[in-house]
Amino acid sequence: MADSAKWYVVHTYSGYENTVSASILKAAENRHMEDLILEVKIPMETVTEHTDNGEKTYERKTFPGYVLVKMILTDESWHLVRNARGSTGFVSMDGKPVPLTEREVLDLGMERHEVVVGFGLGDTVKVTDGPLEGFLGTVDELEPEKDRVRVIVSMFGRETPVDLELDQIEPVKDE
Band (163; pLDDT cuts 50, 70, 90): very high
Does residue 165 contact residue 147 with C-beta atoms inside 8 Å? yes
Condensed to tens digits (0 to 9), the pLDDT of residues 31-85 reads 999 999 999 999 888 887 776 777 788 888 888 999 999 999 999 999 999 999 9
Residue 4, exposed/middle/buried by CB under 10 A (0-12, 13-18, 19+)?
A: exposed
Give residue 147's pLDDT: 79
Give residue 114's pLDDT: 56
Lowest mean pLDDT among 67-76, 124-133, 143-152: 143-152
Rounded (5°) CA angle 89-102-162: 145
DSSP code for 173 = P
Which residue, among 63, 65, 67, has the nearest Cα to 8 in the 3D structure?
Answer: 67
**What's the chain's average pLDDT?**
86
Give residue 62's pLDDT: 85
Condensed to tens digits (0 to 9), the pLDDT of residues 13-24 reads 989 999 999 999
DSSP code for 131 = T
Statement: residue 9 has pLDDT above 90: yes
Which residue, among 56, 59, 174, 69, has the nearest Cα to 126 in the 3D structure?
Answer: 174
Enter the CATH code of domain 2-108: 3.30.70.940
Does residue 37 contact residue 80 with C-beta atoms inside 8 Å? yes
Query: What mean pLDDT do residues 144-163 have?
Result: 88
Instruction: Round to whole Å and give the CA distance between 25 and 18.
Output: 11
Strand partners, 96: 93
Its CATH class, for the domain covering 124-171, is mainly beta
Where exactly are the structural domains of the chain? 2-108, 124-171
Band (1; pLDDT cuts 50, 70, 90): very low
